[in-house]
Chains A and B, each alone.
Chain A
Amino acid sequence: MTKPDQPTILCVDDEPNILSALKRVLRKEGYTVLTATSGREGLALLEEHAVQLVISDQRMPEMTGAEFLKEVKDRWPQTTRVILSGYAEAEAILDAVNNGAIFKFLVKPWQDQDLKQEIRTCLAHNEEKAALYEQAAENRNNPEFPVVPPRIWSHKNPDKQEVM
Chain B
Amino acid sequence: MSAPTPTPHEPGAEPPEMVSQRAFLRERAARKQAEDLLEEKSRALYLANEQLEQELAERKQLEVHLIHSEKMASVGQLAAGVAHEINNPVGFVTSNVSTMGEYLRVMKTVLSHYEALTADLKAQLEIGQPDQTDSLHSLRSLQSGLLESITQIEALRQEEDLDFILEDAHQLLAESNEGLRRVKDIVQNLKTFVRLDESDVPKMADINQCLTSSLSVVWNELKYKCQVHKDFGELPPIPCHAGQLNQVFSNLFVNAAQAIEKQGEVRVSTEVDDGFVVIQVTDTGSGIPPEKLSKIFDPFYTTKPVGTGTGLGLSISHGIIEKHKGRIEVDSTVDEGTTFTIYLPITGIQADD
Partners in one complex: yes
B83 lies within 8 A of A87 (CB): yes
From A62, A91, A109, contact of B91 by CB (8 A): A109
Closest-CB distance, A113 to chain B (whole angstroms): 8
From B91, B224, B307, contact of A110 by CB (8 A): B91
From B87, B172, B307, contact of A87 by CB (8 A): B87
A158 interface residue (CB < 8 Å to B): no
B224 lies within 8 A of A17 (CB): no
From B83, B88, B98, B175, contact of A20 by CB (8 A): B175
Closest-CB distance, A63 to chain B (whole angstroms): 10
A5 interface residue (CB < 8 Å to B): no
Complex CA distance for A87 and B220, rounded to whole angstroms: 12
Complex CA distance for A155 and B88, rounded to whole angstroms: 42
B96 lies within 8 A of A109 (CB): no
User: Which residue from chain A places its CB closest to the CB of B103 in the assembled complex?
Assistant: A24
Complex CA distance for A110 and B98, rounded to whole angstroms: 11
Q: Among residues 45 to 103 in chain A, which have CB atoms less than 8 Å away from a CB atom of chain B? A: 59-62, 85-89, 91
Complex CA distance for A62 and B307, rounded to whole angstroms: 23
Closest-CB distance, A7 to chain B (whole angstroms): 20
Residues of A within 8 A of B88 (CB): 15, 17-18, 86, 108
Q: Among residues 21 to 38 in chain A, which have CB atoms less than 8 Å away from a CB atom of chain B? A: 21-22, 24-25, 27
B99 lies within 8 A of A109 (CB): no
Residues of B within 8 A of A61 (CB): 223-225
A108 lies within 8 A of B99 (CB): no
User: Which residue from chain A places its CB closest to the CB of B160 in the assembled complex?
Assistant: A28
B99 lies within 8 A of A112 (CB): yes
Chain A CB count within 10 A is highest, among B84, B85, B91, B220, for: B91
Closest-CB distance, A38 to chain B (whole angstroms): 11
Closest-CB distance, A6 to chain B (whole angstroms): 17
B80 lies within 8 A of A24 (CB): no
User: Which residue from chain A places its CB closest to the CB of B94 in the assembled complex?
Assistant: A109
B95 lies within 8 A of A24 (CB): yes
CB < 8 Å A-B pair total: 75
B92 interface residue (CB < 8 Å to A): yes
Complex CA distance for A81 and B84, rounded to whole angstroms: 20
Complex CA distance for A136 and B91, rounded to whole angstroms: 40
B197 interface residue (CB < 8 Å to A): no
Residues of A within 8 A of B98 (CB): 111-112
B171 interface residue (CB < 8 Å to A): yes
User: Which residue from chain B places its CB closest to the CB of A61 in the assembled complex?
Assistant: B224
A24 lies within 8 A of B224 (CB): no
Complex CA distance for A154 and B178, rounded to whole angstroms: 55
From A17, A25, A86, A107, contact of B99 by CB (8 A): A25
B154 interface residue (CB < 8 Å to A): no
From A21, A27, A59, A111, contact of B92 by CB (8 A): A21
User: Which residue from chain B places its CB closest to the CB of A62 in the assembled complex?
Assistant: B224
Residues of A within 8 A of B172 (CB): 20, 24
User: Which residue from chain A places its CB closest to the CB of B99 in the assembled complex?
Assistant: A24
Known A24-B172, A59-B220, A60-B224; contact A17-B92, beta-carbon cutoff 8 A: yes
B179 lies within 8 A of A17 (CB): yes
A24 lies within 8 A of B223 (CB): no
A112 lies within 8 A of B95 (CB): yes
Complex CA distance for A59 and B222, rounded to whole angstroms: 12
Residues of B within 8 A of A27 (CB): 161
Residues of B within 8 A of A112 (CB): 95, 98-99
Complex CA distance for A25 and B103, rounded to whole angstroms: 11
Cβ proximity bits B88-115 to A, threshold 8 Å, 1 near / 0 not:
1111111110110000000000000000
Complex CA distance for A80 and B224, rounded to whole angstroms: 26
B90 lies within 8 A of A108 (CB): yes
B261 interface residue (CB < 8 Å to A): no
A86 lies within 8 A of B224 (CB): no
B83 lies within 8 A of A110 (CB): no
User: Which residue from chain A places its CB closest to the CB of B168 in the assembled complex?
Assistant: A24
24 example contacts (A-B, Cβ-Cβ < 8 A) are as follows A17-B88, A17-B89, A17-B92, A17-B179, A18-B88, A18-B91, A20-B92, A20-B171, A21-B91, A21-B99, A22-B95, A24-B95, A59-B220, A61-B225, A85-B84, A86-B84, A86-B88, A87-B87, A107-B87, A108-B91, A109-B87, A109-B90, A109-B94, A109-B95
Q: Which residues of B contact A (CB under 8 A)?
A: 79-80, 83-96, 98-99, 161, 168, 171-172, 175, 178-179, 220, 223-225, 307
